Amino acid sequence: MSKNQNLSPLFNLFWENTNLNDKNILGFVDGFVNEEKNIEQIKYPTKDLELDYPKDKLYKIMKNRQSNRQYNNYQINKKQLSSLFSCFAQVDNHRLLSSAGGKYPIEVYALCFNVNKFNNKIVYYNYEDNSLSIVGSCSNWDDIKSITGAGDVITGEPSIMFIFVGFPNRVVSKYGERGGRFLLIESGHYIQNLLLRVSYEKMRAVELGGLFDNDIKNILGLENSDAIITLGVICGK
């Protein structure tokens, strides 16, 4: 039994029950066929204050963000790569993301498909000194997409796939089962930061919520660790 199972058995059970693989992926995508397209907003009888939309640069960046599933094998250069990874950085001993108890249970990896000098490399982001370490090699997108849960709806080849890896022990050791919830919330912080940078760079991105957990862990060389795969994001043009 792994350490994180002892610390948070309920969170671990939830995670095991929501793992995806080539055996249960069809059940996962069945829900897409008959999904409800119209979401009914909550309505209250009065509108007590009409708000104004901001006119600043940040709002424009947010407004331009959209999920996109079409890519054209665009080659990312070092400047763009630096821009994308910068949103996870530590600057002057200050992280650009919040974390429950300062535990920072999320680590950032990426599979590079069309990245200048890093094609078919797996990299890890060192937030302390804003650098990348090559941790292995990966196949091209066509060979990887079958374990992303979204391969059939993605056309063309993206430039890079970010993978947000969680280490539950860091946070459940302080917060118990509740720490599992905090870890997932923090994964959302990382993705939101990234999507804003993608929009700023006038690039495209889409979240991948159907990654095959164990297959991705094996690719990253984390199969013998307590790491969990939270979400992925592919980016390109």
User: What distance in Å separates the CA atoms of residue 216 and residue 223, rounded to the nearest whole number?
Assistant: 9
Q: Please state the domain count of the chain.
A: 1
Supply the pLDDT for residue 35.
64
With b for 16 or more beta-carbon neighbours within 10 A and e for fewer, the 205-220 pattern comes to bbbbebbbbebbbebb
170-198: per-residue pLDDT in tens? 999 999 999 999 999 999 999 999 999 99
**18 assigned to some structural domain:** no
The reported pTM is 0.92
Is 26 within a domain?
A: no
What is the Cα–Cα distance from 99 to 196, expressed in whole angstroms? Answer: 19
| Within-domain flag for 169 | yes
Residue 30 lies in a domain: no
148 falls within a domain: yes
Which residues are paired to 166 by β-bridges?
Answer: 106, 228
pLDDT tens, residue by residue, 1-38: 344 457 899 999 999 999 999 888 877 776 665 666 77
Residue 172 lies in a domain: yes
pLDDT surpassing 60 at residue 81: yes
- Report residue 152's pLDDT band, with 50, 70 and 90 as the boundaries: confident
Give CA–CA dist 166/225, Å, rounded. Answer: 11
- The predicted-structure confidence for 38-61, as pLDDT tens digits, reads as follows 788 899 999 999 999 999 999 999
Residue reference for tokens 């590079």 = 112
Structural domain including 195 reads 60-236
Distance of CA 75 to the CA centre of its chain: 20
- Is residue 33 in a domain? no
Q: Is residue 34 part of a domain?
A: no
We report the CATH number of the domain holding residue 67 as 3.40.109.10
